[in-house]
Amino acid sequence: MQPCQKKHMSSFPVSSSILSTISIANYIQQQYNFSTAESCKLIKAGINHTYELTHLSGKYIFRVYSFNWRSKPEINEELKLVNHLRENGIPVSYPISDKNGDIIQELPAPEGNRFAVLFSYAQGEKLLNYSLETHEKVGEVMARIHQITLNYTLKRIAYNEDSLLIHPFPELRNFLPENSEEMAFMTSLQQQLLIEIRAADPATLRNGAVHLDIWFDNLNVNSNGEITIFDFDFCGNGWLCLDIAYYLMQLQVIEINEERYIAKLQSFLKGYESVTTINNEERKLLHTLGLSLYFFYLGVQCQRFENWSNVFLNETYLKRYIDARVKKYAEYSYFKTLIQSDRI
């Protein structure tokens, strides 16, 4: 019998990779005619990988999109929105062209070509807990963004009942048993939220382009209290109050003290309404949409298991997440009553 011959393979195929910081630094130096970089480090390996580059002229952020996450046209739409906001005076981290005038790079990663963009650095730092004044400032900036994106359309995802509440369920079922208490809760809540969304009057709800991920992790605050917004990766089309709902939902997670939470909520809304009004129909939906966004982002976590949250995303994690966050927010009726009252 002939001995089994191993088939020679130059390299084993991969589905997800982390690109070398040294190679990224060399690529940027050549592609953007930069002087030698002082440092290049990976600062976040999530759905997209984020590198911080430092050289003589300052700091930059290089985002490498995951393979098969965003198409080139989708990224173009994201950057179009960012540049549109920048041109209208919104403080954002903006894309930078290379020596050929190109903004989107294509990197030959082991799993296939991955897109990448170099962004300006958002001055300041991320603050988990920040002052009432900063919450007010975030509200002002978000409202200014909404003034600019009102009726502005992107060739990207539409955030609606299908994308928020229906499409995530097959992803959840890959990790959460159908007969579990948590899945029963999510199924029941989904039906309740669909009823509330379908009862809304679309004619009274402002529509346009939304960021859908504005919270402490996607804004920097400098020493003067000025903020810069970044990471528009989830931008799309939908009701503008989705951004408000997401911010208030995340604030409730971060600020566990109810008194401080209410104070920060009030400051944020004060800042927002110093620029433009949140109408009654939008206020009625804020709690509903915040819960709906839990469905959407849990679906994303499950969908991108392989290159984001595989260390901890499992049945136990999802059950704990649903019990500690989604159920808690669903039962937070005080917020729902308060937000619709004349007190805020």
pLDDT digits (tens, 9 = 90+) for 92-109: 999 999 999 999 999 999
- How far is the C-alpha of 15 from the C-alpha of 206, rounded, in Å? 40
Residue-wise pLDDT for 229-284, tens only, equals: 999 999 999 999 999 999 999 999 999 888 999 999 999 999 999 999 999 999 99
- How far is the C-alpha of 112 from the C-alpha of 106, rounded, in Å? 10
Q: Are residues 88 and 141 in the same domain?
A: no
170: enclosing H helix or E strand: helix 168-173
pLDDT band at 5 (very low <50, low <70, confident <90, very high): low
Q: 171 Cβ partners below 8 Å, 6+ apart?
A: 298, 299, 300, 302, 303
Mean pLDDT of the chain: 92
What is the model's pTM? 0.93
| Rounded mean pLDDT, 162-182 | 95
What is the maximal distance between C-alpha atoms in the chain?
86
Q: Are residues 161 and 95 in the same domain?
A: no
**pLDDT over threshold 80, residue 2:** no
- How far is the C-alpha of 101 from the C-alpha of 103, rounded, in Å? 7
3-state secondary structure of 262: helix
Q: Are residues 238 and 311 in the same domain?
A: yes
Residue 194: both structure tokens together: 């669909």
| Rounded mean pLDDT, 121-149 | 96
Q: 138 Cβ partners below 8 Å, 6+ apart?
A: 214, 219, 227, 247, 268, 271
- How far is the C-alpha of 62 from the C-alpha of 43, rounded, in Å? 10
9 domain residue, yes or no: no
Q: Are residues 116 and 175 in the same domain?
A: no
Last residue within a domain, chosen from 120, 140, 156: 120
**pLDDT over threshold 60, residue 289:** yes
Residue-wise pLDDT for 310-344, tens only, equals: 667 889 989 999 999 999 899 875 566 666 665 55
Q: Which amino acid is at 252?
A: Q
pLDDT at 216: 93
Give the other-Cβ count within 10 Å of 12's Cβ: 6
| Rounded mean pLDDT, 278-300 | 95
Residue 126: both structure tokens together: 């991320």
Q: Are residues 164 and 108 in the same domain?
A: no
Q: Are residues 63 and 159 in the same domain?
A: no
Q: What is the CATH number of the domain that holds 264?
A: 3.90.1200.10
| Rounded mean pLDDT, 125-148 | 96
CB-CB contact of 85 with 93 (8 Å) = no
pLDDT at 312: 75
If you search the block for the tokens 């927010």, which residue do you land on? 329
Residue-wise pLDDT for 30-42, tens only, equals: 999 887 767 999 9
Q: Are residues 91 and 178 in the same domain?
A: no
Q: Are residues 204 and 265 in the same domain?
A: yes
CB-CB contact of 216 with 247 (8 Å) = no
**pLDDT over threshold 70, residue 144:** yes
72 domain residue, yes or no: yes
180 domain residue, yes or no: yes
Expressed as residue numbers, the domain containing 82 is 21-120
Work out how many domains the chain is built from and give that number: 2
Last residue within a domain, chosen from 89, 120, 151: 120
CB-CB contact of 240 with 312 (8 Å) = no
Distances (CA, A) of 157 to 46, 65, 70, 321: 20, 17, 11, 26
pLDDT at 34: 87
CB-CB contact of 316 with 268 (8 Å) = no
11 domain residue, yes or no: no
117: enclosing H helix or E strand: strand 112-120
Q: 139 Cβ partners below 8 Å, 6+ apart?
A: 267, 268, 269, 270, 271, 272, 273, 274, 275
Phi and psi angles of residue 208, each rounded to the nearest 5 degrees, phi first? 165, -155
